[in-house]
Amino acid sequence: MLQMPFSRKGVTYPMRGSVYYPNLIAISALLVGAFILYAVGQGSADAPAQLRAAGAFALPVTIYLFGALIGMIFVRRSSMTLPGGAIVACRALSAVALVTLLVAAVPYLLPEPPQGMTLPATLFWSVLGTPLVALVLGFAYALAWAPVTGSAADLDAREAEERRREREAEEERAAMKASSEARAKRRAERARRAEAKRAAKSGKGGKGSSKH
């Protein structure tokens, strides 16, 4: 379920705040940390090999986290839900990406890093480490947190949305009725004043005729 627009004042979202806000805070903190690690690790050629390796791996991690951040906001604000199978696939994909990152990066962080590229590192940099793939994987992480279509959270959000729409429609009808009544009162007031003016003129005319 994908509902637009994104301006959603008063809406009950399927993705609970207890899921959204902790993820948002954790991803934001990790994003800042990964960017700092990338800047420090790649900022000096004199840095230790382990720090330079960590900085190199921090770049795709930064892109991944950026995709996850954007994805979390999108999934929350769009009230998106997914079938259970799609969520399981996204979670499996996220787990594979994390395991591949750890297997590829950890050997280069040891006191004696390997010379050249290991097989996991080659796999990581040729596929998962590319910017576009890292961004998509980050978005997939966010999709893994989407509520299941037809779940209690989804149904509650739909019912709340229906109640909100009915309430807004009722408020709009009440506002239109009040506006119509106000216009009718203004028209009646103008008619009354016009009638009073005509009566006053007629009274003056009658008095003038009687004097003659």
| Burial class for 86, CB neighbours closer than 10 Å (0-12, 13-18, 19+) | middle
113 DSSP 8-state letter: P
Q: What would the two tokens of residue 210 be? A: 């009687």
pLDDT at 151 over 90: no
At a CB cut-off of 8 Å and minimum separation 6, what does 58 contact? 34, 35, 37, 38, 41
- 62-66, 106-110, 123-127, 154-158: lowest mean pLDDT where? 154-158
pLDDT at 129 over 90: no
* pLDDT value, residue 4: 38
Task: Return d(Cα 126, Cα 123) in angstroms, integer.
Answer: 5
Phi then psi for residue 7, to 5 deg, are -80, 105
* pLDDT value, residue 3: 40
Structural contact between residues 24 and 85, judged by C-beta atoms closer than 8 angstroms: no
Work out the average pLDDT over 103-109. 90
Instruction: Kindly state the helix (H) or strand (E) to which residue 197 belongs, with its residue range.
Output: helix 152-211
The residue with greater pLDDT, 142 or 179, is 142
Domain boundaries, the chain: 17-149
The residue with greater pLDDT, 11 or 96, is 96
* pLDDT value, residue 71: 94
Task: Return d(Cα 30, Cα 135) in angstroms, integer.
Answer: 15
pLDDT at 22 over 90: yes
- 6-15, 130-139, 166-175, 193-202: lowest mean pLDDT where? 6-15
Q: What would the two tokens of residue 51 be? A: 């720090």
Choose the most confident range, by mean pLDDT, from 5-14, 57-66, 159-168. 57-66
User: What is the biggest distance separating any 2 CA atoms in the chain, rounded to whole angstroms?
Assistant: 126
Phi then psi for residue 165, to 5 deg, are -65, -40
What confidence tens digit (pLDDT) does each residue in 161-212 have? Answer: 666 667 777 778 777 888 888 888 888 888 788 777 777 777 666 555 555 5
Q: Find out whether the peptide bond into 113 is cis, omega within 30 degrees of 0.
A: no
Which pLDDT band, with edges at 50, 70 and 90, does 2 fall under?
very low
pTM of the model: 0.69
* pLDDT value, residue 77: 86
> Which residues on adjacent β-strands are paired with residue 196?
none
